[in-house]
Chain A
Amino acid sequence: MKTELAHYPKEELMRMLTTMQTIRAFEEKAGMMYGLRKIGGFCHLYTGQEAVAGGAISALDLSKDYVVTAYRDHGLAIACGMDPKKAMAELFGKVTGCSRGKGGSMHLFDVEHHFLGGNGIVGAQIPVAAGVAFSQQYRESGGVTLCFFGDGAFHQGAVHETFNLGKIWDLPVVFIVENNQWGMGTNWKKVSAVDDFSVTAGAYGMKGYSCDGLDVLDVRATIEQAVADARLGWPSLIEARTYRYKGHSMSDPQKYRTREEIDEYRKRDAIQSFKFRLSEAKMLTEKEWDDLTRRIDAQIEEAVAFAEESPEPSLEELYTDVYA
């Protein structure tokens, strides 16, 4: 059943739309900049998955809640409020980047906005997220932690150890598997014993939810429920079924999937469908949409200019930030 638009105030809906479109514009620009060799190494774009970040983060109170994810991190960082300038500068390896040019695309961190990275080792962020939740519980901060990971990561031992820890200690954590259906070149069905990740929650005494990761409001409503539970000490697992449009990273020839498969999902594009629903409901005019995209494009251009003009870290920076 579709979550009603009327459920949320217009500003809230516009905020979600803005977040999603900002991520889209940022990622498209990042892809171009990679092509121009302004960005190097592994760069994993979030294009296609925007509804997950847009819906999930909008359900949080980031004055006390936290977010942890893997290396496909640009979208969630921006959704949490990272300034696209700092994100782009980081991708460019500049000292004005969020991680002073030391982390790059895979290691965005923004402590101020409660975004704790940015982990490049598949599955490694999952116990860390439980630790953040442990601290929230210990300090009685009332906050919850959203822990994001991919369908490929689901098969790391750390996932299952952490589910158990989360449950036995009533941690305020929500585990979200962003099932974009491909872990590098491996289709998720080929390596998974179950065809619905959410069912595994039952084995750990947690609630499991599935949501349509291409429907921002479905994501929002599901996360809202899970966050409310987590605040009471009931962790849960959510599978958000989604799709990534681009290669695993920028260097992926994508021989493992067909053009048709990608096109099928593009037809169901999360941003376009949300926009369509909003205009059907007379909540968004073409003019408003044009204004919005123009504003976002300008913001992203500004981010690129900022990254371009920023200095690189000096050689002395090699030995800074290693110890506190």
Chain B
Amino acid sequence: MAEITYREALNRALDEEMARDERVFLIGEEVGEYDGAYKVSRGLLAKYGPRRVKDTPISELGFTGLGVGAAIAGLRPVVEWMTHNFALLALDQVVNNAAKLRQMSGGQLSVPIVFRGPNGPAEFLAAQHSQALGGYWMHVPGLKVVAPATPADAYGLLKSAIRDDNPVVMLEAELMYAWKGEVSDQEYTVPIGKARVAREGEDVTLITYSKPIRVVEEAADRLAEKGVRADVIDLRSLRPLDEETVVSSVWKTSRCVVVDEAWPMASPGVTVANLVNSRCFDALDAPVELVSGEDVPMPYNHRLELAAQPSVEKVIAAVARVLYREDL
């Protein structure tokens, strides 16, 4: 066991998979000479050379599509998007090509490709650079979507994503790259489609994914001080969604709060809330609560941008509502 950062965990996974499989290559803006805009690919150019670590022009549509082409022709690309905001320029290649080529070709083709980069708000970046876009990908059949919240899962899920024969989109976060956590020195993978139970409790189920895990954990700590014990579920994968872990938790607790930093309309959060409503209806003692990002473009001003995101206070208030308690 060693304590390493989320960034280092991703780097180790990339390094090991590149060493393991010659077909794996990394492509994106500033991934090589600059060692990655967020230093995730540090050292990989030096180790694997420019054939396997490709610096691109700022042409998201072009290099993402090129990745798709390489994937249907025998390679296993890892496409780094500097952020998911910029991946919107490449949406067409992911949605219309990567996600569809297998089915449209009647199973002749497979598209073993990983698209990855930071998603969601960081700080002071304003509307175009602070968007949680996981729902865009989660919406699309043919894609898999993973969103690790710890270094251990970042490592294990990236390895699984690279080995998967399907297109996998990975949601990271700028503010998570420096998070530290224990990661085994032994090689391992984390299966796509399996949630993680971050802590066990029987009073309420808190469900989240990616960066808001820390807000949720802190809320759970504070609730524990008041005697409320939360089951905390870190989804880890958005597609496929681990329905069983979610459903069995809510059958146990009868109350559920979903925490998602994305906007509330047509979001991962509402999808999960709908799952709980439909599969746990008879178990629920209160309507499912969703704590989402506010339904506005992110403002630059720091006070406003904090107010626009899920907070410990908002989570506790939602828990108070599902427990019908005013003393929390």
For B282-325 the 0/1 string (1 means CB < 8 A from A) is 00000000000010110111111001100000000000000000
Q: Is A256 in the interface zone, CB < 8 Å from B? A: yes
Partner of B296, one of A41, A94, A192, A318: A318
Per the bound structure, the CA–CA distance linking A122 and B129 in Å amounts to 11
In the complex, the chain A residue whose C-beta lies closest to that of B59 is: A155
B15 in the interface (beta carbon within 8 A): no
Q: Which one, B27-35, B234-242, B264-272, is touching chain A?
A: B27-35
B126 at interface (Cβ–Cβ under 8 A)?
yes
Q: Are A102 and B55 in contact (CB under 8 A)?
A: no
- CB-nearest residue of chain A relative to B298? A102
A190: which B residues are within 8 A, CB to CB? 55
Distance A315 CA – B307 CA, assembled complex (angstroms): 8
A104 nearest CB neighbor, chain B only = B300
Report if A102-B33 is in contact (Cβ < 8 Å); known contacts: A120-B129, A153-B58, A318-B296: no
Give the chain B neighbours of A153 by CB distance below 8 A.
Answer: 58
CB distance B34 to A185 under 8 Å? yes
Task: Tell me what chain B mostly uses at the interface: helix, strand, loop, or mixed.
Answer: loop
A41/B124 in contact, CB under 8 A: yes
Chain B residues bordering chain A, tally (CB within 8 A): 36
Closest beta carbon of chain A to B80's beta carbon, Å = 14
- Closest Cβ of chain A to B298, distance in Å, is 9
Contacts of A322 in B (CB 8 A): 296-297
| B125, CB-defined interface residue at 8 Å | yes
Question: Closest chain B residue to A158 by CB distance?
Answer: B89
In the complex, are the beta carbons of A107 and B59 less than 8 A apart? no
User: CA of A157 to CA of B60 in the docked complex: distance in angstroms?
Assistant: 9
Check A166 for interface membership: any CB of B closer than 8 A. Answer: no
Say whether chain A's binding surface is mostly helix, strand, loop, or mixed.
loop
- A313 beta carbon closer than 8 Å to chain B: yes
Instruction: List chain A residues, Cβ under 8 A from B30.
Output: 184-186
B129 CB contacts on chain A under 8 angstroms: 41-42, 106, 120
Q: Mark A295-324, 1 if CB is under 8 A from B, else 0.
A: 000000000000000001101011100100
Those of B160-189 within 8 Å (CB) of chain A: none
Q: Which of A103, A121, A123, A184 contacts B300 (CB 8 A)?
A: A103
Question: Is there an interface contact between B33 and A183, defined as CB atoms closer than 8 Å?
Answer: no
> CB distance B89 to A156 under 8 Å?
yes
B301 touching A183 by the CB < 8 A rule? no
Return chain A residues, CB-CB under 8 Å to B301: 93-94, 101-102, 104, 312-313, 317
Task: Give the residue name and chain of the B residue nearest to A101 (CB).
Answer: B301
Given contacts A155-B58, A191-B56, contact A104 B124 (CB under 8 A): yes
Residues A121 and B125 in contact, CB atoms below 8 Å apart:
no
B227 contacts the other chain (CB 8 A): no
Determine whether the beta carbon of B128 is less than 8 Å from that of A106: yes
- A99 CB contacts on chain B under 8 angstroms: 300
Contact B294 A155 (CB under 8 A): no
Minimum Cβ distance to chain A for residue B293 (Å): 11
Taking a contact as CB atoms under 8 Å apart, the answer to whether B128 and A120 are in contact is: yes
Q: Bound complex: CA of A313 vs CA of B89, how far in Å?
A: 32
A-B contact pairs, 15 of them (CB 8 A): A41-B300, A42-B124, A90-B300, A93-B302, A94-B301, A120-B126, A123-B58, A155-B58, A156-B89, A183-B58, A184-B30, A185-B33, A191-B58, A315-B303, A322-B296
- Other A-B contacts than A94-B301, A312-B303, 14 sampled, CB-CB below 8 A, are A40-B302, A41-B300, A101-B299, A101-B300, A120-B129, A152-B57, A152-B58, A153-B58, A155-B58, A155-B62, A157-B62, A185-B33, A186-B34, A318-B308
Please provide the 6 A-B residue pairs with the shortest distance between their CB atoms, ordered closest to farther.
A41-B124, A104-B300, A40-B124, A155-B57, A185-B34, A191-B57
